[in-house]
């Protein structure tokens, strides 16, 4: 799966965690209805980035994969995992 950079509007909780609320890809705005799964990748290898990964459902019913690179402070989108194409 290829991830591409995207702009994400996120909520930062009281612990500083980033939680995506909407993202912008291919000229469209996708409002996130639910976070279905959340997990962290990396951390054991100091050379590898630490990524917060999210499986989300958008308002159109599609499921998308997003990830946040903590070290670089940027988001990327892996495309629609299921549902209507974006």
Q: Hey, where are the domains in the chain?
A: 4-82
Tell me how far CA of residue 68 lies from CA of 4, 73, 84, in angstroms. Answer: 11, 7, 24
Per-residue model confidence (pLDDT) at position 46: 79
Residue 85, pLDDT > 50, answer no
Per-residue model confidence (pLDDT) at position 4: 93
pLDDT in tens, 8-57: 999 877 666 679 999 998 899 999 999 999 999 887 787 788 899 999 99
For residues 35 and 82, the model is more confident at: 35
Per-residue model confidence (pLDDT) at position 86: 42
What's the rounded Cα separation, in Å, for the pair 80 and 10? 19
Do 11 and 17 form a contact (C-beta atoms < 8 A)?
no
């Amino acid at each position: 799966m290829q991830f591409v950079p995207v702009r994400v509007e996120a909520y930062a909780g009281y612990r500083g965690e980033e939680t995506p609320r909407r993202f912008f890809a291919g000229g469209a705005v996708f409002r996130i209805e639910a976070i279905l799964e959340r997990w962290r990748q990396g951390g054991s290898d100091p050379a590898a980035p630490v990524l917060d990964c999210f499986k989300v459902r958008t308002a159109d019913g599609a499921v998308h994969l997003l990830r946040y690179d903590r070290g670089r402070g940027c988001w990327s989108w892996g495309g629609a995992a299921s549902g209507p194409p974006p």
